[in-house]
Chains A and B, each alone.
Chain A
Amino acid sequence: MLLELDGIGKTYPGVRALDDVSLTLHAGEVLGLIGENGAGKSTLMKVLGGVVPPSTGQIRLNGRSYDRLTVAEAQAEGIAFVHQELNLFDNIDVAGNILFGREPLRGGPLQLVDRKAAAEQVLPLLRRLGADFAPHTPVAELSIAQRQLVEIAKALVANARIIILDEPTSSLTLSETARLLTIVGELRASGTAIIYITHRLGEIIDCADRVVCLRDGKMAGALPHEEITHANMIRLMIGRELRALYTPPARPPGEGGLSVKGLVTSAFPHKQVDLRIRPGEIVGLAGLVGSGRTSLARALFGIDPPLGGEVLLDGQAVRISSPKDAVAAGIYLVPEDRKKDGLVLDMPIAENITLANLHHHARAGLVDRGAERRTAEAQGKALRIKAPGMEVAAGTLSGGNQQKVVLGKWLSMEPRVILFDEPTRGIDVGAKGEIYALMRALADRGVAILMISSDMEEVIGVSDRIVVMHEGRISGALQRDAFSEKAVLRLAIGQDGEAAES
């Protein structure tokens, strides 16, 4: 046995990311690791890579036992990662990347890199992986699929016995994917163990010997080779109890609202999106990470202006080529990364709240500080922002209160459409409930709300209607009576057309 994880747990303040996870891995075996967004897959792999220390449990590698691994120990034990975001230096050539930290040297004390020896060392590896590029090609000139081969070659040079592939095919074409799966097969045949993480269940069926599924940080179950089917995997991924979060709207949705026709985003230039959000309804936008949800929100808000299609607001066409246009039309975005995009952390709360609407708090171009303070205090009170005063820097607040400041910025204006991107990420449970209540109150005031969320409980618990995206297009929509984790998941992995036996 190469690797054994025994009772691994990881607790962050207020969150249990992993709870009693155990698994084993043998040489020459491909283990498929599945689970929804946030199920704990990444945390588990970080524990294995030595990046995150586990709170409880044991890691046994090659007969040695560890309470926690350091990155150096993980590498010494032969664990290699091929990351979702590739970790290559694109200003250095292929050989330099593959041999990084173990360059063949010449020239004695001068420590020059022996480029010829490096190429000779790398060439057979590239041949073995079927690579069509030379050792001295700059990485910047390679495609994503080619870069992945470089990462795998890097792992092989380091004598990796366990290679972790994290969503390796998310940006590959079909033929590139097929080739990667062939390479996985060859590595297995040569005795390397592979942990294959993916949302694409078809690939698991093609290459995995065994499947392990995580759900909410716990082991949801395992499947031996002969039981690996779509239906069985989906059954493992879903099936937890959802708390009742839903508050029905005060009145049925109105007419008009936001309607999007044939919208083309820069992230998916060959796909079109049609979407309708009526005033007074909360539409949940579900989908896997990278399915185009955030791209859609950024296009609607003018950050990455749409390449085509039209956006109508109450039947009127609006042209959105910058956030300024969107704000003027009453379309606001509560961004996913509030520290980077939502707030100026060093500025006082009050100045953050009025930033988008400063002209209404000014006379003759000069800021009316009294009006600014009144607006900020009104929002602070309405949203119950916990802060010593509105003049303290927004960066000193907790996550939930920071999110309320972002909300306060938009609520002090006249919202018609609000796009929430992961509105409760990094926010504790109590503040989450407050944010949901605010969203419902806004909808009841006639605002059309789109809520992007990777949290299944949130999507099902808060939305009036769910729209699901898959690889840049809308793969389906669900009415409230059809809500289920399974239905959402099927649409999210692009399975709408296939047989729905369970």
Chain B
Amino acid sequence: MSKKELGLGLLLIIIGGITAALNPLFLSGVNLLNMANLIGLFGVFSIGQGLIIITGGIDLSVGSMFALLGVIFIDLLVNYELAWPLALLVVLAMGLVLGLLHGLLVTRLKLQPFVVTLCGLLIYRGIARYYTNDATMGFGYATNLDTLTWLASGRSFGIPHPFIILLIVAVAMYVLLHRSVFGRYIYAVGRNEEAARHSGINTNAVIAGAYLIGGGLAGLSAVMLVFYTSSVSPSSFGNFYELYAIAAAVLGGCSLRGGEGSILGIVLGTILLQILQNLVNILGIPSSLNFAVMGSVILLGVIADQQLGKRKQARALSRSQGVAPAPAE
């Protein structure tokens, strides 16, 4: 556990503690499970966002992807009466394809990630609304969805499935990012793409791979979110969720310059965001202040990190000069 993650964990405990002291309901089983559910829902795609941010990119399109994949998913189940495993596979595959598309546009055509995914945000939302004539889509009388409903929104041992899915995804992505060759390449490419290329790494493939994974995780999240709300209004479903994901990643220690961040940090960032949301509700703060509270905490967090980083750099510099008195150039 790095210092950054430790600090974030400490912040979580302090904010949680204060909230619990002000209103003991915060620690009630119902509230905790409700939060765990939301953490699961938001954590999965925040991890995808984090991977992309570590390569030095960004994905603004996830919220709109949820709307598009959501309406397609319901349409497949309800109107085309596709068996649910197939519909699930189609949606996951579409997530992967959209992610790959973003990756290829970024690496092959050298477009800026911000622009590519901003266009995605507009296009997917537009298509979703056109496809449904802007009407809300629900499951209606669709049958045979009990298994999938249970999988995506049920509980095992009392724990909401989205949270369990997040744990599985987090462990898998932890191994991928922090233990695998691919993960090492992601950090190297994010920090210094030229040096990575000079080491014979196919940097385009690494970057496109991160977008591909991000797209797949967005597909998975779309399915869980559909079952959480049990209907999709294409004009509002998933609105601003890309910003939640970016906020969680940045709060968790990812630098938008790339090359920095960890899975644990992103998960902690997601948890902190959900606690903040919950705190607004439970302490009776007007919910219209929700975004303002979130923004302030992120800003303070980033400022604190910046100041600590500066001090750390100064220390590292004095240490290295102690070791190597030879004249650097």
Q: Does A341 belong to the interface (CB within 8 Å)? A: yes
Decide: A14 near B198, CB < 8 A? Known: A358-B181, A367-B179: no
B255 to chain A, nearest CB (A): 11
| CB-based contact A326/B200 at 8 Å | yes
B164 to chain A, nearest CB (A): 24
Interface string of B243-269 (1 = CB under 8 A from A): 000000000000000010000000000
A327 touches B195 (CB 8 A): no
User: Smallest CB–CB gap between B305 and chain A, Å?
Assistant: 15
Check if A426 is an interface residue, CB within 8 A of chain B. yes
Contact among A14, A345, A346 with B327 in the assembled complex (CB-CB below 8 Å)? A14
A344/B191 in contact, CB under 8 A: yes
Distance from A409 Cβ to chain B, minimum over Cβ atoms (Å): 7
Contact call B328/A398, Cβ cutoff below 8 A: yes
From A323, A365, A386, A393, contact of B199 by CB (8 A): A323
Contact B327 A328 (CB under 8 A): no
Answer whether residue A370 sits at the interface, using C-beta atoms and an 8 A cutoff.
Answer: no
B 308-329 binary contact with A (CB < 8 Å = 1; else 0):
0000000011011001101111
Least CB distance, B314 to chain A, in whole angstroms = 12
In the assembled complex, the CB of A496 is this many whole angstroms from the nearest CB of chain B, namely: 33
Interfacial chain A residues near B320, Cβ < 8 Å:
392, 396-397
Interface: A102 (CB within 8 A): no
Question: How big is chain A's contact interface, by range?
Answer: 35 or more
Number of interface residues of B (CB under 8 A): 31
Given A344-B195, A346-B259, check contact A324 B184 (CB 8 Å). no
Once the chains bind, are A344 and B196 in contact (CB under 8 Å)?
A: yes
Q: A328-B200, A356-B200, A398-B328 are in contact. Are A365 and B195 (CB under 8 A)?
A: no
Roughly how many angstroms separate A400 CA and B327 CA in the complex, as a whole number? 9
The answer to the question of B26 belonging to the interface, with a C-beta cut-off of 8 Å to chain A, is no
C-beta contact mask, B167-198 vs A, less than 8 Å → 1, else 0? 00000000100011110110110011011111
Question: Within the complex, which residue of B180, B184, B316 is in contact with A396, where a contact is CB–CB below 8 Å?
Answer: B316
The docked-state distance in angstroms from the alpha carbon of A109 to that of B143 is 73
Chain A residue contacts of B194, Cβ below 8 A: 340-341
Looking across the interface, which residue of chain B has its beta carbon closest to that of A13? B327
Type the 1/0 row for A326-348, where 1 means its CB is closer than 8 Å to any CB of B. Answer: 11100001010000111111110
Asked if A401 lies at the interface with its beta carbon under 8 angstroms from chain B, I say: yes
Chain A nearest CB: distance from B285 CB in Å? 40
Contact B202 A366 (CB under 8 A): no
A366 to B175, CA, bound (A): 8
Residues A399 and B182 in contact, CB atoms below 8 Å apart: no
User: A76 near B: Cβ within 8 Å?
Assistant: no
Q: Give chain B nearest CB distance to A387 CB in angstroms.
A: 7
B184 and A398 contact, CB distance less than 8 A = no
How far is the CB of A42 from the nearest CB of chain B, in Å? 15
B residues near A425, Cβ cutoff 8 Å: 329
Partner of A324, one of B202, B323, B326: B202
Please indicate the chain A residues that have their CB under 8 angstroms from the CB of B198 in the complex: 301, 303, 323, 333, 335, 341-342
Q: Is A63 interfacial (CB-CB < 8 Å)? A: no
Is A362 in contact with chain B by the CB < 8 A criterion?
Answer: yes
B185, chain A: closest CB distance, angstroms: 8
Asked whether A358 lies within 8 Å of B179 as measured between CB atoms, the reply is no
B residues 53-71 in Cβ contact with A at 8 Å: none
Q: Provided the pairs A343-B192, A366-B175, A398-B326 are in contact, do residues A323 and B197 lie with their beta carbons within 8 angstroms?
A: yes
Measured between alpha carbons, how far is A362 from B201 in the docked complex, in Å?
A: 15
Determine whether the beta carbon of B329 is less than 8 Å from that of A365.
no
Q: Tell me if A366 and B324 are in contact (CB < 8 A).
A: no
How far, in angstroms, from A398 to B329 measured CA to CA in the complex? 8
* B202 proximity list for chain A (CB < 8 A): 322, 324
Q: A358-B181, A358-B184 are in contact. Are A397 and B324 (CB under 8 A)?
A: yes
Q: With a CB–CB cut-off of 8 A, which chain A residues contact B197?
A: 303, 322-323
Interface pair B201/A386, CB less than 8 Å apart: no
Chain B residues whose CB sits within 8 angstroms of the CB of A351 once the complex forms: 184, 188
Rounded to whole Å, the gap between the CB of B317 and the closest CB of chain A is 8
> B195 near A401 (CB under 8 angstroms)?
no
For window 276-329 of B, CB contacts with A under 8 Å fall at 316-317, 319-320, 323-324, 326-329
Q: Which residues of B contact A324 (CB under 8 A)?
A: 200-202
- Distance in angstroms from B254 CB to nearest chain A CB is 14
Q: Across the interface, which residues of B come within 8 angstroms of A396, CB to CB? A: 316-317, 319-320, 323
Q: Shortest beta-carbon distance, A435 to chain B, in Å?
A: 13
Q: Does A486 contact B (CB under 8 A)?
A: no
Known: A335-B198, A396-B320, A401-B324. A355 touches B329 (CB 8 A): no
- A426 → B minimal CB distance (Å): 3
A398-438 interface with B by 8 A CB criterion: 398-401, 409, 425-428, 430-431
Residue of A nearest to B187 (CB): A347
Bound Cα distance A358, B191 (Å):
17
Q: Which of B175, B181, B196 contacts A362 (CB 8 A)?
A: B181
Q: Are A344 and B188 closer than 8 Å at their CB atoms? A: yes
Q: Measured between alpha carbons, how far is A348 from B326 in the docked complex, in Å?
A: 20
Closest CB-CB distance, B199 to chain A, in whole Å?
4
When distances are taken between beta carbons in the complex, the residues of chain A under 8 Å from B324 are 386-387, 397-398, 401
CB <8 Å contact, A387 and B323: yes
The answer to whether B201 and A355 touch across the interface, beta carbons within 8 angstroms, is yes
A107 at the interface (CB under 8 A from B): no
Instruction: Give the chain B neighbours of A399 by CB distance below 8 A.
Output: 328-329
Task: Please give the distance in Å from A389's CB to the nearest CB on chain B.
Answer: 10
Tell me if A359 is interfacial: C-beta within 8 Å of chain B: yes
Asked if A101 lies at the interface with its beta carbon under 8 angstroms from chain B, I say no
Rounded to whole Å, the gap between the CB of B256 and the closest CB of chain A is 15
In the complex, A346→B195 CA distance in Å?
Answer: 12
Residues of the A chain whose Cβ atoms lie less than 8 Å from the Cβ of B179: 366-367
Partner of B195, one of A322, A340, A367, A426: A340
Residue pair B200, A327 in contact (C-beta under 8 Å): yes
| Cα of A346 to Cα of B316 in the assembled complex, Å | 11
Judge whether B201 and A345 touch: CB under 8 Å.
Answer: no
**Residues of the B chain whose Cβ atoms lie less than 8 Å from the Cβ of A426:** 329
Q: A343-B192, A345-B192, A346-B259 are in contact. Are A386 and B328 (CB under 8 A)?
A: no
Chain B residues lying within 8 Å of A328, measured Cβ to Cβ, are 200
Identify B184's interface contact among A323, A326, A367, A393, CB under 8 A.
Answer: A367
The residues of A that contact B316 with a CB separation of less than 8 Å are 393, 396
A13, A359, A386, A396 — most chain B CB neighbours (10 Å)? A396
Assembly CA distance A366 to B185 (angstroms): 12
CA distance A323 to B201 in the complex (A): 8
Contact of A342 with B181 at beta-carbon distance under 8 Å, contacts A14-B327, A386-B324 already known: no
Which of B201, B202, B316 is the most central at the interface, judged by chain A CB atoms within 10 Å of its CB? Answer: B201
* A158 CB to nearest chain B CB (Å): 33
A108 CB-CB contact with B under 8 Å: no
Q: Which A-chain residue is minimally distant from B204 (CB atoms)?
A: A322
Interface assignment of A388: CB less than 8 Å from any CB of chain B: yes
19 A-B pairs in the complex with CB atoms less than 8 angstroms apart: A301-B198, A324-B201, A340-B192, A341-B194, A341-B198, A344-B259, A345-B192, A347-B188, A355-B201, A356-B200, A367-B179, A367-B184, A386-B324, A386-B326, A388-B319, A392-B320, A393-B316, A401-B324, A428-B327
Task: Given contact pairs A335-B198, A344-B191, A397-B320, enumerate 20 new A-B contacts (beta carbons under 8 Å).
Answer: A14-B327, A323-B200, A341-B198, A342-B195, A343-B192, A343-B195, A351-B188, A355-B195, A358-B184, A365-B180, A365-B181, A365-B182, A366-B179, A366-B180, A367-B179, A367-B181, A393-B316, A399-B328, A409-B199, A428-B326
